[in-house]
Amino acid sequence: MQRRQLLIAGLLSPLLARAQARARLTVAAFPSVDAILKAANGDWQAREPGVELEVVSRAMVDHHTAMVTSIATRSHLPDVIAIELSYLGRFAGSGALEDLSQPAYGARELSAQFVPFAVRQATTPQGALVALPADVAPGTLFYRLDRLEKSGADLGELTRSWESFVATGVRLKAETGAHLIAHARDLKDVIVRANMGPNEGTYVDHAGRVLVDSPRFHRAFELARQVRVQGLDARTTAWSSEWAEGLRRGTIATQMMGSWLAGHLCSWLAPTTAGLWRAAQLPDGVHCAWGGTFYAIPKEAKNKPLALELIKLMTLDPKRQLAAFKSEDSFPALLETYGDGFFEAPIAFLGGQRARLIWRDAAQAILPFSVHRLDPIATEIVDSALDDVLGEGVDIPTALGEAQRMLERRALRA
């Protein structure tokens, strides 16, 4: 009898141990966001002492692919998903994420605390708020001051308009040999992202109409072609080894990207160029976003109230927002942080420039726009059309007309 009791106790002990284990909240994230989450563990434990925070991290693309698989199969779903802006449209329209504006979450009232454009990005056309923004990436123009001075041009000429930007590029090339930008596609990307009308997304509007064959895209393509024809782009894509080398050697004189690039330039891309770079608002007075991170709760999550608590900690706590800004260059989405003294601190890598003030102005000036689930394929179609214009000599109306037809064909299937 005693042996039998011992056997039963032995068999039950793992189950008992599991039952006694601490509750666990799982967050799926990607690099740098995972570090921000781990750094917040102390604050989380102070808030929820009995709940262990488990951060599952994968590379950016792998993370989003894994989340698609988890949602599709309804298995191994985390309680909180970190979503990068470029993937948000795909997830937002899926119906797989909780609507945080529902009374149970009450996040609609919280949304006024964030930069408006970020909240709009997380809002579906039906009005559901599927995520809260953790960080935004105000677009900025990084430029090599030494190259600009050598060319005899000034910042005003570089940024007055897109036409003057290109004209300054001609001088830069003639006087210094440096290319104005890395790839003509970069110019197109900024112009199509920054000049959207009300209720427009980058490629598709609120009503689902395709916007590719429009003046915004024609102008972007025309300027990109001018840059290519005049040999002003280095024909290298961002994150390639040629691109990094071009930034290091100063053969690429400007780079338009999110403010976070300053951190990458300083830490590993081009640390030897410290003091040579400056930041400015984008040319032509435009403002646009260059990524951003959002937190969402899957409908199948097991600990939704706790998940919301974590999201609130990561998005609404000024201390955590500023900590992420300082450690990972994650520009806060929370407006309350914008009065902090850290924004006014000079940045040594940018020659002591108080560039965070520029980025703060940009973040607040970005106009709201919507994301769409067709955005990834639309980007591919438009990029391919530009390739045809730049490399194959296809004329712009033909290329954009064909891109419009291809995208409409896919939109009609939706």
Binding site residues, other proteins, CB under 8 A: 65, 68-69, 71-74, 90-91, 94-96, 235-237, 240-242, 245-246, 251, 373, 376-377, 380, 383-384, 387-388, 390-392, 406, 409, 413
Q: Minimum distance between the CB of residue 94 and other proteins, rounded to whole angstroms?
A: 4
Residue whose tokens read 């910042």: 155
Q: Minimum distance between the CB of residue 101 and other proteins, rounded to whole angstroms?
A: 20
Q: Minimum distance between the CB of residue 34 and other proteins, rounded to whole angstroms?
A: 22
Instruction: Decide whether 319 or 410 has the Cβ nearer to other proteins.
Output: 410
Instruction: Decide whether 34 or 375 has the Cβ nearer to other proteins.
Output: 375
Residue whose tokens read 């300083």: 266
Instruction: Decide whether 300 or 317 has the Cβ nearer to other proteins.
Output: 300
Strands 289-296 and 80-84: antiparallel
Instruction: Decide whether 54 or 380 has the Cβ nearer to other proteins.
Output: 380
Q: Minimum distance between the CB of residue 385 and other proteins, rounded to whole angstroms?
A: 9
Instruction: Decide whether 236 or 337 has the Cβ nearer to other proteins.
Output: 236
Question: In sequence order, which residues have a C-beta less than 8 Å from that of residue 165 and are 6 or more positions away?
Answer: 158, 159, 180, 283, 284
Q: Minimum distance between the CB of residue 210 and other proteins, rounded to whole angstroms?
A: 15
Instruction: Decide whether 109 or 392 has the Cβ nearer to other proteins.
Output: 392
Instruction: Decide whether 161 or 384 has the Cβ nearer to other proteins.
Output: 384
Task: Give the 3-state DSSP-derived string for the chain, with helices as H, strands as E and coil as C.
Answer: CHHHHHHHHHHHHHHHHHHHCCEEEEEEECCCHHHHHHHCHHHHHHHCCCEEEEEEECCHHHHHHHHHHHHHHCCCCCCEEEEEHHHHHHHHCCCCECCCCCCCCCCCHHHHHECHHHHHHCECCCCCECCEEEEEEEEEEEEEHHHHHHHCCCHHHHHCCHHHHHHHHHHHHHHHCCECECCHHHHHHHHHHHCCCCCEECCEECCCCECCCCHHHHHHHHHHHHHHHCCCECCCCCCCHHHHHHHHHCCECEEEEECCHHHHHHHHHCHHHCCCEEEECCHHHCCCEEEEEEEECECCCCCHHHHHHHHHHHHHCHHHHHHHHHHHCCEECEHHHHHCHHHHCCEHHHCCECHHHHHHHHHHHCCCCECCCCHHHHHHHHHHHHHHHHHHCCCHHHHHHHHHHHHHHHHHHC
Instruction: Decide whether 249 or 319 has the Cβ nearer to other proteins.
Output: 249
Instruction: Decide whether 66 or 323 has the Cβ nearer to other proteins.
Output: 66
End-to-end CA distance of the chain: 67
Instruction: Decide whether 6 or 72 has the Cβ nearer to other proteins.
Output: 72
